[in-house]
Chain A
Amino acid sequence: MSARAFSSLTLAGRSAWARRGPLSLLVAAIAVSVAMVLAVMQLRDDARDSFSNAISGVDLIAGSRTSPSNLLLYAVFHLGQPVRSMSYSHVDAIVKLPSVAWAVPLQLGDHFRGFPVVGTTPMFFSKVGGPSGLAFSSGGPFAKLFDVVIGAEVAAKSGLSIGSSITLTHGANDSLAEDHSDTPFSVTGVLRRTGSPIDRSVLISLAGFEAMHIGWEFGSKPKQSASAIPSDPLRLEPSQVTAVFIGLESRTQIFSARRAIESLGAGTLMAILPGVTLDELWQAFGVIEVTLSVIGWLVLASALLGICATLLLSIASRRKEFAVLRALGLSPAGITRLILLESLWVSLAGIVIGWIMLQIMIAMLGPWAAQEFGIFLQLRPLDSQGWLALGAVLGLTLLASLLPALKAMRYSLHDGLHPPTA
């Protein structure tokens, strides 16, 4: 070892700092591509997690005949086109099937400040979201007609807590929608965060859903106040629901149960296996995922070409510097090492900044991604795949600087003690 390692590091650092203008642009280019590549990975993983969290515990989803992905997207993620409702009599028939352990009907269509309102039964809390059901951070399930349970995200955004009174909005989330102002609901429970669309849901009983729509048969607010609400909530059974989440006695019966459900409706009903439909959706999204990944790596490739070009140009103007270092006893290999070290710094800075950019992006765009796409982005440490990608960035940067480094070595061998005086 001719030169002590510490000085090589310091020298490379100081030399790079003196050329920080062009180098910082390279750092930025690497940072952007790193952020892009990591973002695609994170998006894919988080989308997978949030989607499968939402259907965990559910074996089948039944609804009116439509495309399987449409039923899944609308019933579970409140995305895409509304599906036609199914008759409530079919729910009764499904519950009576021997292979069905439980069935939770869902009624969708209304909103609260942009969050979807879900009319359902208390069983929703014990069956959906995994074997132990959903946990409450405060309060409990709805018991009375105008009780409401809100998801963690709703609670965080609206600032509501137990006992708050809220008014739901009829129909889709737009400015012309009318409020159900004559039937206010009161919050009885706040759910713990699940990382699924449930966090963004406002849950009420089917009877409550029915009650607030009395007199709304024509789609707008009734002229008289809703005095017609019967005192006995049991009589408020809905005639229709949007979909039914179903749990089976045994998963081995899944295909026979599906056939049994579909035969109930004489061709108007369908039952989907949510896991299978989700996989089909992933295949469609796979193209987008690959495209985004490719863009990320292309940005990186152009950044690497930029490094190569910038270093090659700078090598010619640094011949004097190299001659001085040679005179001070640095070997040609030592000079090569200086250049590689510089690329290492540039690359590391780019990687760190890119990762920070990603965290800021997640923090800023997370709520929007959850609202628009049902994807719950999380701040979290890198997984092995992320580390692998960063390692690849580092390796490729060093590879890109190999050519300039070799050129510098050739110069330093050729120039001898005579630095060019240009």
Chain B
Amino acid sequence: MKSIISIENLQFSWPHGPPVLEIPQFQLAQGERLLVQGPSGIGKTSLLSLISGIIQPKARSFNVLGEDLLSRSAAACDRLRGAQMGVIFQQFNLLPYLSVLQNVLLPTQLFAQREKRCIAQDASAQAQAMRLLEALGLPAAIWHRPSHRLSVGQQQRVAAARALIGAPDLILADEPTSALDEDRQQEFMQLLMEQVQLTGAACIFVSHQRALNQFFDRAIDLAVMNQAKRKAA
């Protein structure tokens, strides 16, 4: 199967800091769902930051979604992320001054490519936003509410809808369930992964929670894969 992420000999450290990541080999296939586990501080978030192009990597090769991030400008990486990736944080995903619907529609307003895909799939960005919100179990009554008035669980689902809108090729999630209680975690993952499967996106989830394995094609332990930490220890 075609791989959409291909990384060789990645090395990363913050300026003047010790090595954070040393990964000899990392691959992700199209549509593959990967769980990255490991204790906190192992560099999981850094790995997501590198893949999303927010920070610049050092590696022999670093290809994401057909782009060589090593030779791309920071602005080109930002564009790639905005147009073809969906990102979910642990919490504080939403802009508090926008309504639920406005938050979900943001990627389509910022990037024409995302809007075009919505139009191809659901006739309009608005229609797709509503379909996703509904599928993620958010009732229409709250769509026009300011997002800061939602519960944390609801906020995470809105964030999921925003990550999924316009069918990006890659979903990145950084501990999306750790702010939720256990019952909600399973429910949230169920709904989210259904939609991920429908769009056919590949996804990388970072989590320290073992109970999520069932939702993924593959799970890796960054503590094993990351040689920087082994050396330090």
Write the residues of chain A forming the contact surface with B, with a CB cutoff of 8 angstroms: 2-4, 6-7, 10-11, 14-15, 17-18, 320-321, 323-334, 416-419, 421
Which B residue sits closest to A17, measured CB to CB?
B97
Q: How many A-B residue pairs have CB under 8 A?
A: 91
A328, B107: Cβ atoms under 8 Å? Answer: yes
The interface stretch among B23-31, B43-51, B192-200, B223-231 is B43-51
How would residues 163 to 179 of chain B score, 1 for a CB under 8 Å from any chain A CB and 0 otherwise? Answer: 00000000010100000
**Chain A residue at minimum C-beta to C-beta distance from B107:** A328
Contact with A along B51-67 (1 / 0, CB 8 A): 01011000000000000
What residues of B have a CB within 8 angstroms of the CB of A416 in the complex? 45-46, 49, 54-55
* Contact present for B111 and A329 (CB under 8 Å): yes
From A420, which residue of chain B is reached at the shortest CB distance? B92
**Do the beta carbons of A329 and B74 come within 8 Å of each other?**
no
A2-B78, A329-B79, A416-B46 are contacts. A421–B90 as well, Cβ < 8 Å? Answer: yes
A333 to B109, CA, bound (A): 18
B residues whose Cβ falls under 8 Å from a Cβ of A: 45-46, 48-49, 52, 54-55, 74-75, 78-79, 81-83, 87, 89-98, 102, 106-107, 109-112, 162, 172, 174
Q: Are B45 and A4 in contact (CB under 8 A)?
A: no
Say yes or no: A4-B109 contact (C-beta < 8 A), given A329-B79, A417-B52, A418-B45.
yes
Contact A15 B89 (CB under 8 A): no
Once the chains bind, are A327 and B81 in contact (CB under 8 Å)?
yes
* Cβ-defined partner of B87 (8 Å) among A3, A320, A327: A327
- Tell me the complex Cα distance, A321–B94, Å: 8
Task: Tell me the nearest residue of chain A to B115, going by C-beta.
Answer: A4
Q: Compute how far the CA of A418 lies from the CA of B172 in the bound complex, rounded to whole angstroms.
A: 13
Closest 5 pairs (CB-CB, A-B):
A329-B82, A18-B97, A327-B87, A416-B49, A417-B49
Not counting A14-B95, A320-B92, a sample of 17 additional A-B residue pairs whose C-beta atoms are within 8 angstroms of each other reads A2-B82, A4-B112, A6-B109, A7-B110, A10-B109, A17-B97, A18-B97, A324-B93, A325-B95, A327-B54, A329-B82, A329-B107, A332-B74, A416-B54, A417-B45, A417-B49, A417-B54
A293 to B54 alpha-carbon distance, docked (Å): 48
Q: How far is the CA of A385 from the CA of B70 in the complex (A)?
A: 52
Chain B nearest CB from A104 CB (Å) reads: 69
With A14-B97, A416-B54, A417-B174 given, is the CB distance from A4 to B110 under 8 Å? yes
Docked CA distance A3–B110 (Å): 5
A3, A325, A328, A418, most chain B CB atoms within 10 A = A328
Q: Given A324-B92, A421-B90: A2 and B79 within 8 A (CB)?
A: yes
Contact A419 B89 (CB under 8 A): yes
Q: Give min CB distance, B114 to chain A, whole Å.
A: 9
What is the distance, in angstroms, from A200's C-beta to the closest C-beta of chain B?
54
Question: In the assembly, what is the distance between CA of A421 and CA of B93, in Å?
Answer: 11
